């Protein structure tokens, strides 16, 4: 079991940012303790009465194994009650009936199912933790379905970004975590930032974001930033986007 005093200075820094800000994106390489930092923040926020119920969305294996293991690993978080909502629909419904709990952990694929199951009015989570924000990089709030074999079109569905947008007004805290916040460069940042602020910093649509700060390469079909784009984009998100890199002397870098 690890204690609060064993947390690294930069983990405490991440925890403090989560507590301080209504929304933030923490980009940190694997092994730098993002999960422990989030749990310390959750414990402190609950103790202060700021939040009551937390929803964590993560890849399946991370949801089923990593988060439960981390909760048990730290002495300050072992008292937290949680449920893991994965598996078949029957198993998920049974998990939702188990409670009340402090933390609900669900895999990405079932996030939309949970939204439909509870609806907006019954949405009880006032803190949202989205583990691996690069999944939001498409910037789409609805899917773009392809024709079926018979030529008919399946209905559009909300994406994970769309689900977050639909319940964002009911959520006091949003925390996004990522090892690679923008794997394809600046173009990937719009979706994760929109999930935090609903367009306040980078605009309300990915189309306007592209048109303002990028040009399309006609040969590669990739969006390339203008010379001034990185400086302007990073300036706009400097208060919510932070990165942590593993170096001999670990250094915190805000987006500016």
Q: Which of 56-60, 153-157, 246-250 has the lowest mean pLDDT?
A: 246-250
Model pLDDT, residue 247: 57
- Which of 31-45, 142-156, 176-190 holds the top average pLDDT? 31-45
What are the distances in angstroms from CA 168 to CA 164, 175, 190, 220? 6, 12, 16, 35
Coil/strand/helix, residue 116: helix
What average pLDDT score do residues 60-87 get?
97
Bridge partners, residue 250, by sequence: none
Model pLDDT, residue 246: 63
Model pLDDT, residue 253: 45
Number of C-beta neighbours around residue 195 at 10 A: 25
pTM of the model: 0.92
Q: What angle do CA 79, 80, 82 make, to 5 degrees?
A: 135
Chain centre distance of CA 74: 22
Evaluate if residue 240 carries a pLDDT over 70: yes
Coil/strand/helix, residue 77: coil
Going 82 to 37 to 137 to 22, the CA torsion angle's sign is positive
**CA–CA gap between residue 163 and residue 117 (Å, rounded):** 12
């Amino acid at each position: 079991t690890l204690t609060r005093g064993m947390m690294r200075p930069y983990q405490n820094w991440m925890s403090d940012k989560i507590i301080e800000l209504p929304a933030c994106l923490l980009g940190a390489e694997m092994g730098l303790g993002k999960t422990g930092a989030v749990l310390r923040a959750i414990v402190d926020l609950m103790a202060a009465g700021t939040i009551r119920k937390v929803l964590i969305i993560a890849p399946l294996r991370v949801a089923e194994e990593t988060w439960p293991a981390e909760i048990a690993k730290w002495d300050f978080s072992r008292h937290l009650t949680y449920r893991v909502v994965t598996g078949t629909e029957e198993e998920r419904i049974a998990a939702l009936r188990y409670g009340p709990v402090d933390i609900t952990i669900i895999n990405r694929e079932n996030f939309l199912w949970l939204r439909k199951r509870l609806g907006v009015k019954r949405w009880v989570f006032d803190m949202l933790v989205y583990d691996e924000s690069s999944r939001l990089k498409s910037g789409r709030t609805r899917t773009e379905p392809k024709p079926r074999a018979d030529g008919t079109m399946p209905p559009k569905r909300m994406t994970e970004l769309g689900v977050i947008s639909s319940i964002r007004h009911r959520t006091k805290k949003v925390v996004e975590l990522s090892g690679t916040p923008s794997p394809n460069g600046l173009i990937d940042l719009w979706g994760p930032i929109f999930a935090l602020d609903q367009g306040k910093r980078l605009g309300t649509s990915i189309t306007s974001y592209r048109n303002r700060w990028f040009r399309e390469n006609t040969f590669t079909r990739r969006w390339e930033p203008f010379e001034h784009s990185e400086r302007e984009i990073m300036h706009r998100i400097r208060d919510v986007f932070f990165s942590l890199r593993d170096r001999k002397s670990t250094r915190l870098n805000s987006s500016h």
